[in-house]
Structure 1
């Protein structure tokens, strides 16, 4: 048999039982607090594919890269911030199902206490402004899972589920 030919992978037990099984999208989110304890959020562009005109974490999807690599890349691309992955601490995950037919998502939130730079809008087609907000006085509207993650972090919880309807 040629080295380039692969043996087909048998279906995993959960795939055989659940034809609706879907791959999860992995998102990473940056939780930054300034010296006053305010959290950095960006106002999404009105034409954004997701949550236009809504406040949200600096965030992105992993693109065949590790989560911390994605976090570092997105912080620089979106806001001109330079962070060291060694300074990132996992603080929360939101396991999210936005609605029927949507891809399930695992949203990972990392706190970074040291960074270089001042947040600036570097992708004006995606984000209109960066602002610092007290966790107990967030702007309206905020992406619901962003609000849930900030509340979970404040309460010391590591995990939240949303949209699964009791599953």
Structure 2
């Protein structure tokens, strides 16, 4: 929040329950963008790390307009995928509180390249570093809760303690689809199995989806329709995911295996076998049925694929076009 944030104790318009908005911005690699505020007595949280944001002005028709205006004015930022995340209570020294609407969004740029007009600097931080910083406990807790939510969406559980409280020296987290695994020590290492849909229309175009900006894996990146196998076969997984994500009905008898990418992101991380299947025919037109995962379906010529594209998706498409059935990535 910047100097324009309404101070605790100030009167709120009678028709407005929240007069302030802040942005919780993450880069898809486990880091959050924080703003070092000026050390000026009398402003809100002087000299602290906080979120970008500020108070609603008369011309703002909504708090979303407020946060978008603040991001443009403070840092020249335009983040299309902002979405409401939470309403927080900022407490002043006199005990009064001001409600703040928190919007979450994905951006992966270089903060040093931004034209910062207020405060000292912007910087990316992982949640495990926040206990070292001078910042409001409520802001620290907000980042932690958002990080846990992203993790739970993908893994179905909260992240380990090291991700939320214990300081580590790791610069980047392991791949969101591949939690770190220690060396096997002679024990079996389980591989994650993914099922991916390779769908071509009558014009030879390939169906790809643009992942939601807040996705824990590959936010704002194009990818196959895909999912992790549960207690089911890979083909059953593919058929289920096609129906749940895009409303496509596929007969298992019309599915054929066309490629697999066996990969690790780094030595010691959990291996993943990404199996790709072609559906020879299907019923339905791709729909956005899980907007928290995919925001757009589009058909693409294989020689003009979109950017950014998940690397192993590109590798699989290249392999299929070349008639290969198998690709390895990341193995040394």
Pick aligned residue for 1:71 from 238, 245, 267:
238
Pick aligned residue for 1:39 from 196, 199, 206:
206
Offset at 1:99? 2.5
Aligned to 1:55: 222
Offset at 1:138? 0.3
Following TM superposition, the consecutive aligned residue runs of length 4 or more in structure 1 with deviations greater than 4 angstroms are none
Aligned to 1:95: 262
CA distance in structure 1 between the aligned counterparts of 2:269 and 2:235, rounded to whole angstroms: 25
Aligned to 1:13: none
CA distance in structure 1 between the aligned counterparts of 2:194 and 2:269, rounded to whole angstroms: 14
Secondary structure class of the residue paired with 1:30: strand
Alignment of 1:64-143 (within 5 A): 64-143=231-310
CA distance in structure 1 between the aligned counterparts of 2:306 and 2:191, rounded to whole angstroms: 29
TM-score, normalization: structure 1?
0.86
* Equivalent residues, number: 149
CA distance in structure 1 between the aligned counterparts of 2:185 and 2:204, rounded to whole angstroms: 44
Aligned to 2:321: 154
Offset at 1:102? 2.8
Offset at 1:46? 1.0
CA distance in structure 2 between the aligned counterparts of 1:92 and 1:112, rounded to whole angstroms: 13
CA distance in structure 2 between the aligned counterparts of 1:121 and 1:19, rounded to whole angstroms: 44
Matched, 1:23 2:190: yes
Q: Structure 1: 5+ residue runs without aligned partners? A: 1-16
TM-score, normalization: structure 2?
0.44
Does the 8 Å contact 2:267/2:331 carry over to 1?
no
Offset at 1:47? 1.1
What per-residue deviation string (whole Å, max 9, x for no partner) do you get for residues 119-159 of structure 1? 01100000010000011110001000000000000000000
RMSD of aligned residue pairs (Cα, Å): 1.3
CA distance in structure 1 between the aligned counterparts of 2:329 and 2:250, rounded to whole angstroms: 29
Larger Rg: 2
